[in-house]
Amino acid sequence: MVGAGLPLLFVWVSGRAGPSLAGFFASFGLSSSPGGMAAFLIQTVFTQAVAGVLIYHSIHQLREISRIYLTFARLNLYRLQPLYAFSVPAALTSGGLILYNYGWFASAPELLAQPISIALSVFFATTAAVIFAWPLLGIHRRLAAEKKRSLAESARRFEATVAELHQRVDKKTILHMDDLNKTLASLEIERAALQRIPTWPWDPGTLRSLAATLFLPLVIWLAQYILQRLLP
């Protein structure tokens, strides 16, 4: 209701101010005829109503995802796949906002010539990135803390094994050194594996898909813009 009411509020304010509504449409290269203005306003009311519902749904859903991650998620650095599940709804919500933004410009390409429209497009793209990352920030911090703890524990064991190695060397007790070497190698492998574990709970494919949704239309539009400038 709030999203749908914003365009109507603008029409009311413009009507109170005089014939500025037609000038507003003309400044964006839109038809200032009664039929054209009515069609544009109907489209605007519908899209803003959908945007309002999307915003409310997104805020509620992402807060629930963040709460579940912080309250109920069990951490296992070697089994991160179950944690990737909630990154998909966050990516879909973010992608929906991006598609809404591009759909708006697709329906009125002349808006791309307006600096304020470009600024709004950048704002929506930034908001989409925040929407994707924000509900995952809490679990990211938990994973980072767990990874730090596991690395510290592995380092403590490695240090203890090295101390045992030094003790044997100092005492010239070189029997059973093969087991000690295997222990050091195993601890080194463990530390390297821990360092490679990601602390953001999303599958790389999900991130690539979201990045493609965000940047591919921008790249296509930029290429078209450059070609239009270079070619007669």
Q: What is the mean pLDDT of residues 78-100?
A: 83
Asked which of 21-30, 53-62, 153-162 is least confident by mean pLDDT, the reply is 21-30
pLDDT band at 17 (very low <50, low <70, confident <90, very high): very low
Residue type at position 94: S
Q: Which residue has the higher pLDDT, 207 or 81?
A: 81
Burial class (CB in 10 A: 0-12, 13-18, 19+), 83: buried
Question: What is the SS3 string spanning 16-66?
Answer: HHCCHHHHHHHHCCCCCCHHHHHHHHHHHHHHHHHHHHHHHHHHHHHHHHH
121-156 in b/e form (b: 16+ CB < 10 A) is beebbebbbebbeebbebbbebbeebbeebbeebee
Flag whether pLDDT at 18 surpasses 50: no
Q: Name 183's Cβ contacts closer than 8 Å, sequence gap at least 6.
A: 161
* Best mean pLDDT range from 21-30, 54-63, 64-73, 192-201: 192-201
* Cβ neighbour number for residue 97 with a 10 Å cutoff: 22
Widest Cα–Cα separation across the chain: 99
Flag whether pLDDT at 16 surpasses 60: no
CB 112 within 8 A of CB 118: yes
Flag whether pLDDT at 189 surpasses 90: yes
pLDDT at 188: 95
Using alpha carbons, list the distances in angstroms from residue 219 to 59, 95, 101, 214, 226.
29, 16, 15, 9, 11
